Amino acid sequence: MRKTIINIIIFGFIFLPLILWLLWVLKPSYKANILIMDKTVLTNLGLEHRGFDWVLSHQKYRKPDGNTYTPHSDYLGFFPLKNDSFLIHDLSKLTEKQIDSMSSSLDMTYYTDTYGIYYNEWYRKNNQTEHSEKVYGGLDKNDVLLLTKLKEKKKLIMAEFNFFATPTSGTERTVSERLLGLRWSGWTGRYFDQLDTIINPELPKWVVRLYKEQHLNKWPFTKSGIVFVHTNETIAILEKDTDLNSEVPHVKSFPYSTRKFGIPKEIDYPYWFDITLSTDTSTRVLSYYEIFPNVRGDSILHHHSIPKIFPAAFENIKDSPYYYFCGDFTDTPLHNTTDKMRGVEYLKMFVLNEDDLNDRTPFYWRYYLPLTSIILDNYFKK
């Protein structure tokens, strides 16, 4: 009996990947003209849009010429080259007529990150976690024009953090907010598994500097917690136990969303998010963040007018399809070795470590992957 079990395990290790690959090969492919915009690409790995590329490859969406979408080349924005050089290939130099023509040929667009590239992190001459001058980034007028044209033509629009936030100018932000029926509050935030600056040298230096400037040069934190940053540089921090009953934000989804997209009712989210609200009744909240402060933490939130419950994902419910994710959802460390294996997402459920609150992969596999897969299927295969 024991030998039989061992043989079955060996068979599974050898042949299961081959079977899953064959099933993926037999799956039909779909041609789609998709524009990915990513202005925050520090390496050729394209981490800020790699998660979405994995979805496209796994679901067998192809470019109009039949080739697959690849993270290092099939996007617009910032392209890193050798020796600190770079190429910018975006919409900024196109005419209105060219933008209109592009909107007619495209099926959809996904703005994965517009935060951009900054001097310290690119040229690496100073502290990479301190603020520095912008090299490139933010929405420009042609980005907004393309989005306007796509919305008029009822093409699918997807966007996520950092879409509205700094360094996008006030004019472009206002127009894009009005276009999508949303309003950014000015607040962004993130969970950090360690706020002790000695233990966590990767903690952004600008966060520490600004907080100390605002709190008599004190930095009292030694545990995990949530950092909130306002566009006016105000810093608010909630620390585990001291201010929080549960240290990491939870993303909770309404019954409608769990039924339609197959996403969990509740899941931890440990990365960057923004506090964005709806201004249009046609924009429905699919999921929402919940922060769990104690009495002291609640008073800090109240002092800064920060809500403890706020949207995590929006869907337009009228005739123009668009979605906005209030977090850096697609930025997940992934390996492309499993994208060509059908059903691998179900196998992943058995190996996810959801006890590691700093691990973003459970959120990707359980929330982002099913959500974006269903959005694409409902749009392209209807």
In a domain, residue 200? The reply is no
Q: Are 139 and 184 in contact (CB under 8 A)?
A: no
The DSSP call for residue 240 is: B
**Total Cβ atoms within 10 A of residue 109:** 23
Distances (CA, A) of 76 to 72, 80, 137: 10, 12, 12
Whether the pLDDT of residue 350 is over 60: the answer is no
Six-digit token string for 1: 């009996």
| Model confidence pLDDT, tens digit, residues 103-151 | 999 999 999 999 999 888 777 655 566 778 889 999 999 999 999 999 9
pLDDT interval class at 13 (50, 70, 90): low
Question: What pLDDT does residue 284 have?
Answer: 95
CA 291 to chain centre: 19
Question: What pLDDT does residue 8 have?
Answer: 47
In a domain, residue 295? The reply is yes
In a domain, residue 137? The reply is yes
In a domain, residue 332? The reply is yes
Mean predicted confidence (pLDDT) in 253-278: 96
Backbone angles phi, psi at 237, to 5 degrees: -130, 135
Whether the pLDDT of residue 318 is over 60: the answer is yes
Question: What pLDDT does residue 124 have?
Answer: 67
Six-digit token string for 152: 């008029």
The residue among 164, 59, 148, 159 whose CA lies nearest residue 109 is 159
Q: Are 166 and 274 in contact (CB under 8 A)?
A: no
Whether the pLDDT of residue 221 is over 90: the answer is yes
Question: What pLDDT does residue 19 have?
Answer: 67
| Model confidence pLDDT, tens digit, residues 153-208 | 999 999 999 999 989 998 999 999 999 999 999 999 999 999 999 999 879 999 99
Measured between alpha carbons, how far apart are the two ends of the chain, in Å?
49
- DSSP codes, 92-154: TT--HHHHHHHHHH-SEEEEEE---EEHHHHH-SS-TTS---EEE-S--HHHHHHHHHHHHTT
Distances (CA, A) of 147 to 179, 202, 211, 291: 8, 35, 37, 32
Helix (H, G, I), strand (E, B) or coil at 304: coil
In a domain, residue 133? The reply is yes
Q: Residue 380 and residue 118: Cα distance in Å, rounded? A: 37
Domain that holds residue 85: 27-185+253-380
Whether the pLDDT of residue 377 is over 80: the answer is yes
Whether the pLDDT of residue 294 is over 70: the answer is yes
Q: Residue 213 and residue 93: Cα distance in Å, rounded? A: 41
In a domain, residue 2? The reply is no
Distances (CA, A) of 308 to 273, 276, 288, 322: 13, 13, 10, 26
In a domain, residue 244? The reply is no
The residue among 106, 110, 130, 108 whose CA lies nearest residue 118 is 130
Beta bridge mates, 324: 159, 314
pTM, entire model: 0.91
Looking at the 3D structure of the chain, how many domains does it have? 1
Question: What pLDDT does residue 260 have?
Answer: 96
In a domain, residue 40? The reply is yes
Whether the pLDDT of residue 97 is over 90: the answer is yes
Mean predicted confidence (pLDDT) in 40-54: 86
Q: Residue 76 and residue 204: Cα distance in Å, rounded? A: 27
More confident residue, 294 or 340: 294
The DSSP call for residue 27 is: S
Beta bridge mates, 327: 273
Lowest mean pLDDT across 80-89, 93-102, 232-241 = 80-89
Q: Are 250 and 268 in contact (CB under 8 A)?
A: yes
